Amino acid sequence: MMRVGLLGCAHVHAAHYVAALRAGDIGARAVALYDPDSEQAAAFAAAHGLERATDAASLCGAVDAVIVVSEHSRYVEMVQSAARAGLPVLCEKPFGASLGDLRTLLATDVWCSVAFPMRYAPPLVRAKAMIEQGGLGELVAMSGTNRGSYPGGFFGDRARSGGGALIDHVVHVADALYVLSGLEYETVYAEAGRFRNVGDVEDVAQVLATTTSGAFASIDSSWSRPAAMPGGLDFQMTLWFERATLHLDGMARRGLVVAADGSIDYEEYGRGVNEAMLSAWVRAIESGAAPPIPALDGARATELALGALRSAETGRVVDLAALR
């Protein structure tokens, strides 16, 4: 049984990963946690039955691998702690809260996979296999959405998150399009706004990027859905190819549950994407393989998100090559 430690627990996915490791037959368990915010650490450790380490180095000494799920602004120090201990890492997205962080993470000598679980969503896996056969022709354009509600916590605090809806959700669709098409991004433009006034970050955002092949790709990453909306989190992509159009819904594998009072909810069925991602991560570590989702892929998608943030602030089209 692989012993997994958490570096930080502020991210909403920390609890999801602990639960997925516990529920699945992945061969790994979350056992310990280090978070510099001791109150936060105590509450999370108690809720999930984890040991608490007093610092990052002692956590790394007690486990076989780590998952970085802290505030975005701490990713660099957390990944570097794991690097010093020679431990394999799963780093939550985005891959850096700033361009500086992104460069530092890329330059860090560490076995690091990036958390893009939507790569494992069955409709995307099926689409990738179909696209690779080549019959659909070149990509003409893509329109995607990854909308949700405001996650709360540090996400609304720019100093710790790096940004709002643009930093939280652009990367998933950006990575999915790269995985499906192999296309690189060239420019990005974005409009963003604050309509619910959560923290000091943008909560609505629409991105319109181009690829080096001349296709366009749009991503709605807004926290536009009401907090209590059943099934509010979405992940959809329409891909126009020369010879066909593909509609993908990464959240479609769920059933509708209607309670006696008429309230509705959705229940995911089948193997979840987090479980599939963690399983692939554990297998790669055990077999000595390369990280399933390499740092460079994390950097590519994150660069698009950070470029979009800059565009929204300056009102200009951002040339992504100029950011490197």
Query: What are the residues binding other proteins (CB under 8 A)?
Result: 140-141, 143, 145, 187, 189, 191-193, 195-196, 203-206, 208, 210, 214-216, 218, 220, 222, 224-226, 229, 238, 240, 245, 315-317
Alpha helices in 135-213 (DSSP H): 158-161, 165-181
Q: How far is the CB of 196 from other proteins (least distance, A)?
A: 6
Q: How far is the CB of 215 from other proteins (least distance, A)?
A: 6
H helix and E strand count, the chain? 10, 15
Q: How far is the CB of 94 from other proteins (least distance, A)?
A: 21
Instruction: Pick between residue 18 and residue 320 the one whose CB is nearest to other proteins.
Output: 320
Instruction: Pick between residue 69 and residue 239 the one whose CB is nearest to other proteins.
Output: 239
Instruction: State how far the Cα of 176 lies from the Cα of 195, in Å rounded to an integer.
Output: 28
Return phi, psi of residue 82, to 5°.
-65, -40
- Element (DSSP H or E) covering residue 247: strand 245-249
Instruction: Pick between residue 91 and residue 180 the one whose CB is nearest to other proteins.
Output: 180
Instruction: Pick between residue 265 and residue 319 the one whose CB is nearest to other proteins.
Output: 319
Instruction: State how far the Cα of 259 lies from the Cα of 59, in Å rounded to an integer.
Output: 43
Residue 2 burial (C-beta neighbours within 10 Å; 0-12, 13-18, 19+): middle
Q: How far is the CB of 173 from other proteins (least distance, A)?
A: 14
Instruction: Pick between residue 52 and residue 196 the one whose CB is nearest to other proteins.
Output: 196
Instruction: Pick between residue 32 and residue 217 the one whose CB is nearest to other proteins.
Output: 217
Q: How far is the CB of 235 from other proteins (least distance, A)?
A: 15
Return the exposure string of 168-196: e unless at least 16 CB atoms fall within 10 Å of the residue's CB, then b.
bbbbbbbbbbbbbbebebebbbbebeeee
Instruction: State how far the Cα of 45 lies from the Cα of 77, in Å rounded to an integer.
Output: 21
Instruction: State how far the Cα of 144 lies from the Cα of 312, in Å rounded to an integer.
Output: 18
Q: How far is the CB of 166 from other proteins (least distance, A)?
A: 12
